[in-house]
Structure 1
Amino acid sequence: MSAVAWIAVGSLAAWVWLLLGQGFFWRTDQRLPRREAPEHWPSVAIVVPARDEADMLPVSLPSLLAQDYPGSAEIFLVDDCSKDGTGDVARALSVRYGGLPVTVVSPGEPEPGWTGKLWAVRHGISLARAREPEFLLLTDADIAHEPDSLRGLVAAAVTGGFDLVSQMARLRVSSVWERLVVPAFVYFFSQLYPFRWVNRAGARTAAAAGGCVLLRTGAADRARVPESIRQAVIDDVSLARAVQRSGGRIWLGLAERVDSVRPYPWLADLWRMVSRSAYAQLRHSPPLLLGTVLGLALVYLAPPVTLVAGLLSGAPVAAWAGGVAWAVMAGTYMPMLGYYRQSLWLAPLLPFTAVLYLLMTVDSAVQHHRGRGAAWKGRTYARPEAAPDR
């Protein structure tokens, strides 16, 4: 066989493995378990780190204030050195809407060795500990919750015996670029961290979605959270790993009642979102970057390229293998498009979207080596070192 045919066959073999051997990552059936109400509804402290979120809070914070929760719950919003009046907006919304009590604090700039978000989370948790909550809900300032969201999270954690329950918030898909890129973002994430693998007892795979994490306070203490992960750029996965290493059981799934309200209308917006942490995902390793680029090329680019090359050159093996690989790829993407209520005709465009992600990842590495890595809202974490143990 020709080299093109071998590449096509290799890509098809990779897709057969991904289809059957990667935890059925492409299925979207990992949803929050429906549980009966526990006999006792534990107390919950809701910690919301917020930096320059004055535009998002009017959409997200009222949804937290309106939580229909039978137990005791309180919100701690940590204003992370905002310049747009985030703290004042939060206080005004609390007065306007009522509901759960809100405490707004401003801890100042993070100490060396901390990322801004985790510094804010640290202060929120410290403040919440005075109330001795049984659970902590860590949620971002751009996340909106349906009124029964907290009730469902706590019921799942208590009756299921989980120390951490996390939901991947449904991201906004309104603009053309959001429709093209956002479902693929969640698809790629689930491919890296198959939810079924995360959720099984004794799992070795750990992951969480930072926008919505319900965490037992005792589990946070055992895992020394957030101190043990204080330099993590990808804080949600690091949090899940810390909880798992300390003996905790975790659960991760797709959300039905939790939504991200942050818009990413243009490609540049999505590019910044992905590239700020893509190289950190690869542990800032050039060999891992090279392997990722080659892997993405084989898995996502080779099928359409070898199909076209095989048809043009009259190579039936290359055309057949490339075409079948492309069809399998598109088929595994359809459930995620269905979850996002998008046209299934977008499925064959996944190779194009994969090229965008490949370029975002390379750009993330370039920015890192230029000293501008992980830039977000005026802060840059160019070369984070491993956080020393205390």
Structure 2
Amino acid sequence: MTVLWWVSVVALLAWVWLAVCHGGFWRTDQRLPPRLAEPSRWPDVVAVVPARDEAGVLPLSLPSLLAQQYPGRARVVLVDDHSTDGTAELARMLAAAPGLELEVTTPPPLPEGWTGKLWALRHGVARAGDAEWLLLTDADIAHRPGSLRELVAAGEAHGLDLVSQMARLRVASGWERLIVPAFVYFFAQLYPFRRANRPASRTAAAAGGCSLVRRQALERAGGVAAIRGAVIDDVSLARAVKRTGGRTWLGLADRVDSVRPYPGLAPLWRMVSRSAYAQLRYSPALLLGTVLGLTLVYLVPPVAAITGLLTADWRTAGTGLAAWAVMAATFAPMLRYYDRPVTEAPLLPFTALLYLLMTVDSAVQHWCGRGSAWKGRTYPHPRSADRPSTTHQA
């Protein structure tokens, strides 16, 4: 019991440090910067939507993008990435109503060294002409009225080169309610938004579902080709833009929602496991450190609390409960953002255990040659463009 107590003390100290010193990662106040004034001239914008077998979600997402009321010139380029479910035909049908102009195009066959999404984005960016801003948005993302206008206004008013919003994911099913808020919470723990938004900070991150980037900044960073093999393309893009002198911003969305359903555990598991090992730079040492770190920080507190209570070891129970309480308190703001009761916060250790297993499974899939599988494609080998630099926050 003395060993468990000492380990629980370390866990408590870790949580105090995370809560106080880790960039306020648990706060949810990073929202789109307020519009200081209307731009004197609204720049041209092209939204680029990579889509592969997305017929199931396009009716819920694409019309919202086409319906955006934007004071300047704007249009949409949907890149049909060789879909087999009629994605392109459906997109053209959805564009029949009045709204932004839609171009549906198909890229050449995927060359070696590229991920499918980034090859599609490269093709869409090339079709965008000389637009000053590019909105890179996924096919499952729905934009509420005014979303595009507010994004551009924030970028122009604050001199930003990349404005990215973490779309509000769906939390309808039981598994979604358990896993989705924690997914965003863990992402913010890896890349504290406040820290990423400071120009002087080396931390950089973005959310791939909704990223508005200046064309000049993208070109200065080497274009989409600079991150062509990245599995974690959003973070890689932000890192490339920031490394070449651009100003980036990331926050939680109020007008951008993902409509992709995750009705069971299996699709949520795949969502996490397909890129978890890439996040660890395909390193067995980092994988071991992550497993030990998750165990210490998330699993030790409830084990110490419950064991201490059952054995009347009040010192161990108290330390474990204190660490568990700090953990739950940092998770509560994210639950409120997702309109979930804060009484669900103590369940975070169970969700963390699932994420630990997903991370291990991601490594196993990679070692078995199945790598990052998505939409019928597999990327089994590490890509140098996807390897985080020494600025990676872990």
TM-score range for the pair, normalised by the shorter chain length: over 0.9
Structure 1 distance, partners of 2:172, 2:5, is 39
Q: RMSD between aligned alpha carbons?
A: 1.1
1:66 maps onto 2:64 in alignment: no
Alignment of structure 1 residues 173-322 onto 2, 5 Å: 173-322=171-320
The correspondence for 2:157, drawn from 156, 159, 172, is: 159
- Structure 1 position 310, deviation (Å): 1.7
Question: Structure 2 counterpart of 1:78, which letter?
Answer: V
Q: Answer whether contact 2:278 2:382 (CA < 8 A) is retained.
A: no
Structure 2 distance, partners of 1:214, 1:387, is 21
SS of match in other structure, 2:231: coil
Cross-structure match for 1:335: 333
Q: Deviations over 1:1-51 (max 9, x none)?
A: 810010110000000001001111111000001102111110001000000
- Structure 1 position 343, deviation (Å): 1.4
SS of match in other structure, 1:144: strand
Q: Deviations over 1:236-295 (max 9, x none)?
A: 000000000110000000000000000001001100100000000001100000000000
Question: Structure 2 counterpart of 1:243, which letter?
Answer: V
Structure 1 distance, partners of 2:118, 2:68, is 25
Question: Structure 2 counterpart of 1:327, which letter?
Answer: A
Q: Deviations over 1:118-160 (max 9, x none)?
A: 000000001112xx10100000000000120000000000000
Structure 2 distance, partners of 1:387, 1:303, is 37
Cross-structure match for 1:376: 374
Structure 2 distance, partners of 1:221, 1:105, is 22
Assess, with a 3 A threshold, how the Cα gap between structure 1 residues 338 and 387 changes in structure 2: closer, same or farther: closer
SS of match in other structure, 1:375: strand
SS of match in other structure, 1:380: strand
Cross-structure match for 1:16: 16
Q: Answer whether contact 1:30 1:196 (CA < 8 A) is retained.
A: yes
- Structure 1 position 54, deviation (Å): 0.8
Question: Structure 2 counterpart of 1:39, which letter?
Answer: S
Structure 2: where are the runs of 5+ without partners? 387-394
Q: Answer whether contact 2:301 2:323 (CA < 8 A) is retained.
A: yes
- Structure 1 position 309, deviation (Å): 1.7
Alignment of structure 1 residues 31-42 onto 2, 5 Å: 31-35=31-35, 36-42=37-43
Question: Structure 2 counterpart of 1:263, which letter?
Answer: P
Assess, with a 3 A threshold, how the Cα gap between structure 1 residues 99 and 122 changes in structure 2: closer, same or farther: same
Question: Structure 2 counterpart of 1:223, which letter?
Answer: A
Structure 2 distance, partners of 1:375, 1:323, is 39
SS of match in other structure, 2:379: coil
1:49 maps onto 2:50 in alignment: yes
Question: Structure 2 counterpart of 1:200, which letter?
Answer: R
TM-score (norm 1): 0.97
TM-score (norm 2): 0.96
- Structure 1 position 317, deviation (Å): 2.3
Cross-structure match for 2:117: 117
- Structure 1 position 225, deviation (Å): 2.1
- Structure 1 position 387, deviation (Å): 4.9
Structure 1 distance, partners of 2:381, 2:302, is 37
Question: Structure 2 counterpart of 1:318, which letter?
Answer: T
Structure 1 distance, partners of 2:86, 2:382, is 29
Alignment of structure 1 residues 91-102 onto 2, 5 Å: 91-95=92-96, 97-102=97-102
SS of match in other structure, 1:28: coil
- Structure 1 position 322, deviation (Å): 0.5
Assess, with a 3 A threshold, how the Cα gap between structure 1 residues 387 and 27 changes in structure 2: closer, same or farther: closer
Question: Structure 2 counterpart of 1:20, which letter?
Answer: V
Q: Answer whether contact 2:25 2:193 (CA < 8 A) is retained.
A: yes
SS of match in other structure, 2:273: helix
- Structure 1 position 313, deviation (Å): 2.9
* Over 6 Å off, 4+ runs: none
Question: Structure 1 counterpart of 2:332, which letter?
Answer: M
SS of match in other structure, 2:55: coil
- Structure 1 position 373, deviation (Å): 1.1
Structure 1 distance, partners of 2:330, 2:383, is 37
Cross-structure match for 1:2: 2
Structure 1: where are the runs of 5+ without partners? none
Q: Deviations over 1:201-228 (max 9, x none)?
A: 2121100000000000000010012101
Aligned length: 385
SS of match in other structure, 1:325: helix
